[in-house]
Amino acid sequence: QINRDNVGKLELAWQYRTGAVAANPTVKSMIDFQATPTLLPAAAGAHLVICDPFGKVIALDPASGKERWSMDPKIDKTPYAGRFKCKGVAYWADSQAAAGSVCSHRLFLATADKRLIAMDARDGKRCAGFGVQGQVDVDVLLRSLVPADGTQLTQLVSPPTVVRDVVAVSSFSNKFKSSSSVNGAIRGFDARTGELRWSFDPLVRDAGTGLTPTPQQVGGANTWVPMSADSPRDLLFVPTAGPAPNYWGVHRPGNNNYANSIIALRGSTGEVVWHFQTLHHDVWDRDVGSTPILAEIDRDGRKVPSVVQTTKQGLVFMFNRETGEPLFPIEERPVPTDTDIQGEQLSPTQPFPVKPPVLVRNTISPDDAWGFTVFDKNACRKKIASMRHGSHYEPIMTTGTILFPQPGGGSNWGGGAYDPQRNLLITPVSQIPYYVKLLPRADVDPDYAKRPEAGAPMQPPGYLGDTPYGVKQGPLMSPSFTPCTAPPWNMLVAVDMVSGDIRWKIPFGRLDKLMPFPIPLNLGGPSAGGPIITAGGLIFIGATPDDRLHAYDVETGEELWQMRAPTSAMATPMTYELGGRQYVVFTAGGHSWYDAKGVDDHVLAYALPVK
C-alpha cells in the first residue's frame, strides 16, 4: 500500500511511551531502547508486542497504540554487565496443544538478569508448566561453569530463537573485564517444559587448537545478536563473537574455532551441521555481529536456499543453507603478523570472499588524513603516522594500531535486509578510523581502573582483564571532533546477490547533533539498527543519531521520505497491514553511546492518511 509514489504522504498514526526512562533515572546512561515489535496472529490475540530495555513486555493495540496488557519481569537492575536493552520477544504456537488452551500460543523473553520466561501470548500470564512457574534460571547453568561472581558480567539481551519445539538462548558477556570471560554457550530448551535439551560451546577445547579443556581458562565466542531459524530444515544459524579478551590472544593460540563464525546447528540436538570461520584468532574485536539472513537466491536459474552473513570487516559471506558451500569462492589471503606483543601468534592468512567486494574502505595511510581545516588535516596526518597503519588486519601494538573500519563495523548488529524480487542486499556500513593501544599495566591508574568506564572508547585506560596490559581506544578524531578520514563515514549500500556487484551506495546520516558546531551535511554518521524492505519498493530505516527516519527507493537509493522523530530510532523498524491500512513502526530511544542526551522511550507508527 505504501509505495514510491505515495510514501511522501506518511503521517504519524499513533505514538506510545513505555515510561522506562522516567522510571529509572539513575541508570539512564545505560539504557538502549532497541526493540523491534512483533505482530501476533489473531489466534494469539492480534497484539503488537514490544519489550522495554528492562524486559517489560507490553501488548499494544496495533491500530491505536493503546496498551492492552503488560508483564514486568522485575529484573535486577544492578549494572554489572553494561547497558540495559531488550531487542524483542519470540513467538511460538504449540501444534500439539488444543485450540484455545492456556499457553497454546507463547511468547518467550530472555532477561538481562539471565532468565528465560514463557508467557501466554494472549494475556501475558506466565506458563505454569514451563520451568518453575513459567521461567528457567539460566544463571544457574552459567554458574555451573564459572565462579558465581563471573556471571555478573553476562546478560541475555537478544530475543530467544524458536526452532520447531526448541527455544534457543544466547548471551552477552563483557570481554574487556575478564581475560577468560564467561563460557558463551548456546542453550536449547524444550518450548513446552523448559527442560534443557542441549548446550553448545562455541569454543573448541582440545590440543589441536591450543585451548585447554578447562572452561575457566578462556571463554567468550558468545552470540549477542539475534540468531536465525529454518524450522522446516531443523537448522539454527548462530553468528559468534571473538574469544576473550578483545585485542589479546596469547593464552588462546590457534584459530579458536568456532569463534568469529557462522554456524549451522541442528535445532533439535545442538549438533554442528556445518560452520565457517570468518576471521581466525581474533584480536580486533570483530565479532560476527549481525543476524544471519535466510534467503532464496537465484543461481543458474534455480533458487538456492542460502544464508547471507555480513561482518564488521565489511565483508559479505554467502553459503548454501543446507551444505555450507560458498555461493562465491572464498580465498585465504596473507596478512601481516609482526607484532610487539610478547607471545602473540597471529594467523598468517584470513578469509576473503572473491565477491562481493569489501563494502567499505579498508586501508589507511597518512595520505588519507582529512579535516575541515588544514590544522585538522595536519593533526590527523601526525596521528596516523604515529601508529601502526595499513591493511585490514594490522597487528595490535603497544605503539597503537589503527583499525579501519572500526570494531563497530562495517556492518554491525543492525545487519541487512534482502529484497527477493531484485536479489538485493541492503545494509548500513560505517567506515570510521579507530585506534587501539595496549600499554603496560604499570601505566594504568589503578584507582581509575576500578571504574566501570575505564578502558572504554574515549575514556582513560583500563586493565584488559588480568592480562599484562591495559587498553586505550577510541575513534581517531581531529581537533574539531570529526573523523580523520574523508567522508562519507557511514553509508547505505545495495549489493546484487546474483552478480556480487555493488549496485549503489549513498552517504547515510548527519552529524548535526554530535558536533559542537552543527553541520547538517549528509556526510554519514554512526548507526545502530537495520533496514527493512517492503513490497512497495521501499527501504525504511532510522538507525542514525540525527533523529531522522528515512524511506529510500530500493532500486536507486534515492531518499523519498524523511521525518524528524522525537529522538533517534536506533532499532530495526517493522511493518504490517491491519484493516486495510499499512503501518510502519519505529522504536525511538536514542543511544547510550551515540545519542546519550536523546535516551528516551517512544514507539512511533506511521501510515497514509485515512481517506
- Catalytic machinery residues: 285
Cell of 65: 497504540
DSSP for 117-136, please give it. EEEETTT--B-TTTBBTTEE
Please state, in angstroms and rounded to a whole number, the distance separating the CA atoms of residues 242 and 250: 14
**Collapsed DSSP state (helix, strand, coil) of residue 116:** strand
Please state, in angstroms and rounded to a whole number, the distance separating the CA atoms of residues 78 and 67: 28
**Collapsed DSSP state (helix, strand, coil) of residue 233:** helix
Closest CA to 8 of 556, 608, 436: 608
Whether the link from the prior residue into 326 is cis, omega within 30° of 0, is: no
HSE-CB for 386 with a 13 A CA cutoff: 11
Torsion region of 529: left, alpha or beta (phi above 0 gives left; psi -120 to 50 gives alpha): left
Please state, in angstroms and rounded to a whole number, the distance separating the CA atoms of residues 13 and 605: 6
- How far does CA 565 lie from the centroid of its chain? 22
Radius of gyration of the chain (CA): 23
- How far does CA 298 lie from the centroid of its chain? 27
Please state, in angstroms and rounded to a whole number, the distance separating the CA atoms of residues 37 and 463: 38
Find cell 565457517 and name the residue. 276
DSSP for 145-212, please give it. TS-GGGGGGEE--SPPEEETTEEEE--EE-SSS-SS--B--EEEEETTT--EEEEE-SS--STTTT--
Cβ atoms within 10 Å of 556's Cβ, excluding its own: 14
Torsion region of 358: left, alpha or beta (phi above 0 gives left; psi -120 to 50 gives alpha): beta
Q: Which residues, 6+ apart, have CB-to-CB distance to 593 below 8 Å?
A: 457
H or E element, residue 110 = strand 105-110
Cβ atoms within 10 Å of 215's Cβ, excluding its own: 18
Please state, in angstroms and rounded to a whole number, the distance separating the CA atoms of residues 57 and 119: 10
Please state, in angstroms and rounded to a whole number, the distance separating the CA atoms of residues 131 and 566: 40
